[in-house]
Amino acid sequence: MNSNFLTAIHIMTYLAYPGNAGAPAEYVIKFVRYAGNVNALVTSDEMAGVLDTNPVVVRRLLAQLRTAGLVASLRGKTGGYQLERPAASISLLDVFLAVEGDRVDFFALAQRDNRPGCGPIANSIQQTLHPIFAQSLDILKQSLSRHSIAEVLNQSLDRLRNSCAP
């Protein structure tokens, strides 16, 4: 698994953070601009700064999330992104499918090697692993469907509160 899924969850959680989710100001470090403005539009450059990643990566992921109907965007000087629907109704599976798709090759199976001299294992490993990985992907998707972006946000804020508590 590459980092796209994790980065997309971070983007969605950042967009879900309204600044009034119960986090005292001293716990809110990178979210100060967003605090108190529930309908704030967040720019891709801002998210890239928070994530400490390339803005092109963020924009590519946002495009996938927008295509999946998870985020809305507004162009222009005052434009930016926001969640398309409440964070509690967006599952981690929704995010996963938006950025990774619904394919078994998510596990990056190697292409079958038919070169002369390849042993029988090399010629059959992909077909052997395919059903195992397909079953594993089904289990992963079932688990992701049970967790929402709101849950990730709330658990993150709880961890932040607990780590900063006297």
Q: Which domains does the chain have, with CATH numbers?
A: 4-164 (1.10.10.10)
Q: How confident is the model at residue 151 (pLDDT cuts 50, 70, 90)?
A: very high
For residue 50, give both structure tokens.
């928070």
- Residue 35 or residue 156, greater confidence: 156
Q: How many percent of the chain have pLDDT more than 70? A: 72
User: Per mean pLDDT, which of 45-54, 118-127, 144-153, 155-164 is the most reliable?
Assistant: 144-153
d(CA 153, CA 58): 19
Q: What is the mean pLDDT of residues 97-107?
A: 79
| CA dihedral of 151, 7, 104, 88, whole degrees rounded to 10 | 20
Q: Identify the pLDDT of residue 165.
A: 60
Q: What is the pTM of this model?
A: 0.78
Question: What is the per-residue pLDDT for 44?
Answer: 86
* Stronger pLDDT, 111 or 53, i.e. the higher one: 53
Residue 139 has pLDDT above 80, yes or no: yes
pLDDT at 30: 40
Q: Give how far Cα 156 sits from Cα of 14, 38, 107, 128, Å.
A: 11, 18, 28, 39
First to last CA, the chain: 37
37-51, 73-87, 106-120: which range is least confident on average? 106-120
